[in-house]
Structures are given as C-alpha cells and as structure tokens.
A = this chain, B = another copy of it.
Amino acid sequence: MMTDKLNEHGRSLLFTEARTANRFLNKPIDMSVLQALYDLMKWGPTSMNQSPARITFVTTPEAKEMLKPALAGGNVARVESAPVIAIIGQDLRFFDHLPTLFPSAPDAGKMFEEDEEKAAVSAFRNSTLQGGYFILAARSVGLDCGPMSGFNNALVDQTFFADTSIKSNFICALGYADPEQYYPRGPRLSFDQACTVR
C-alpha cells in the first residue's frame, strides 16, 4: 500500500507556499497541460457525480478582447498578461448527463428538472467545488492561477454562452507567474477563529 499522506513538496506546491499570480511571464501554455489539468480536476467529488462545471479556455487574442469589456478595471492588466484565461462555468442542465454519470439512480435528474431553484443551487455549489479542484489541479501540473470574481457575469454569459444552458461562475487567469509581481500574502484565520469542535 502506498504512503497515505502528501509529502512536503506537494503540500508546499498546492497549499503552504502557493501564491496567487498577479502578473504572468510571457510564456505560453501547451495544450497538453490544459488537458492534464482537466484530467486531474475531473476526479474531484461532486454531489451525485453531477460534474456541472464547464470550462472555456480563452487562448486567442481575439477571444481575450471579447472578455475584456466584462472585467473589473483592476483585473484587466492581469488578464492581459496571462496566456490563458479559464472561464469556470456551470451547466444549469447538468442533470441531462445524470443517467450516464450516476447510473445507480437513473431518474435522479427529474428532481432538478422539476425544481429550477434546486438545480441552480446544486450547479453553483458543485461547479464551485470543481473550481477549487481546478485551482489545485492547475498548481499540480505546474501552472499558476489568478482566480477572479470581479467581472460582469451577465455580459460574459451573453458573449460566450448565448443560447446555451451555461452560466459563468468565476474566471481564472492561468500561466507561469512573474515572481517579482506578487502582492504581499494576506494573513489567514487561526484554527480557533474558523473552526469549532463539538
């Protein structure tokens, strides 16, 4: 049986020494790296294996220009410097895939089909969980992340997801961070501030 804990290098890479990228080096991302990222993140658990996240990798200058009008002003320079921007979206009709994804309950999709609010909450929660897996999977394949929720979701939806059941959740700049342009690292809440033992 293999060791059942992550080693110090892994902990540093994913958690303790990882930093949010503010600006990126002028270095492209190979398509195989984006594929490897997805092939890790997809295994993270979701409720009933719903897997509602849909990722749009914005890679061309033209597509990036389409994204810019939706950005909060403070995020434009970061996006401009990133070789790839991922739009983490959520498919509000994720339940169409449940007969395949969750074969043990072939009718499970019905309760979401019949309750739009229930479907929306589940799509948001589970696509965001997958967003967390996405960020740590990106670090696992050697990428740095600059996740952002400061943008106009409705405009992104109109530009990229018109006439689909996909809505944007958050966006994440991807690339190789310029180590000279990190912001100072923020403090974190202590165990006693964030956790209670009952």
Q: Which residues of A pack against B, CB within 8 Å? A: 2-7, 9-16, 18, 20, 31, 34-35, 38-45, 47, 49, 51, 53-60, 63, 97, 100-104, 122, 124-125, 128-133, 135-137, 139-142, 145, 147-150, 160, 169-170, 183-184, 186-189, 191, 194-198
Give the distance to chain B from A44, nearest Cβ to Cβ, in Å. Answer: 7
**Looking at the complex, which one of B2, B15, B53, B100 makes contact with A187 (CB distance below 8 Å)?**
B100
A50 to B129, CA, bound (A): 16
A100 to B193, CA, bound (A): 13
Give the distance to chain B from A117, nearest Cβ to Cβ, in Å. Answer: 13
A136 and B14 in contact, given A4-B142, A128-B128 (Cβ under 8 angstroms):
yes
CB distance A125 to B149 under 8 Å? Answer: yes
Q: How many copies does the complex hold?
A: 2
Please name all residues of chain B whose beta carbon is closer than 8 Å to the beta carbon of A125 when the two chains form the complex. Answer: 124, 128, 149, 169-170
Please name all residues of chain B whose beta carbon is closer than 8 Å to the beta carbon of A97 when the two chains form the complex. Answer: 189
Q: Which 5 A-B pairs have the closest CB atoms?
A: A132-B132, A6-B140, A49-B186, A128-B128, A63-B198
**Looking at the complex, which one of B6, B59, B194 makes contact with A13 (CB distance below 8 Å)?**
B6
Please name all residues of chain B whose beta carbon is closer than 8 Å to the beta carbon of A137 when the two chains form the complex. Answer: 15
* A-B contacts, 30 listed (Cβ < 8 Å): A2-B9, A2-B12, A2-B13, A3-B9, A4-B13, A5-B141, A6-B140, A11-B140, A14-B14, A18-B43, A31-B197, A38-B191, A39-B191, A43-B188, A44-B132, A47-B150, A54-B195, A55-B195, A55-B196, A58-B198, A59-B198, A100-B187, A101-B187, A103-B186, A122-B149, A128-B129, A129-B131, A129-B135, A130-B132, A132-B133
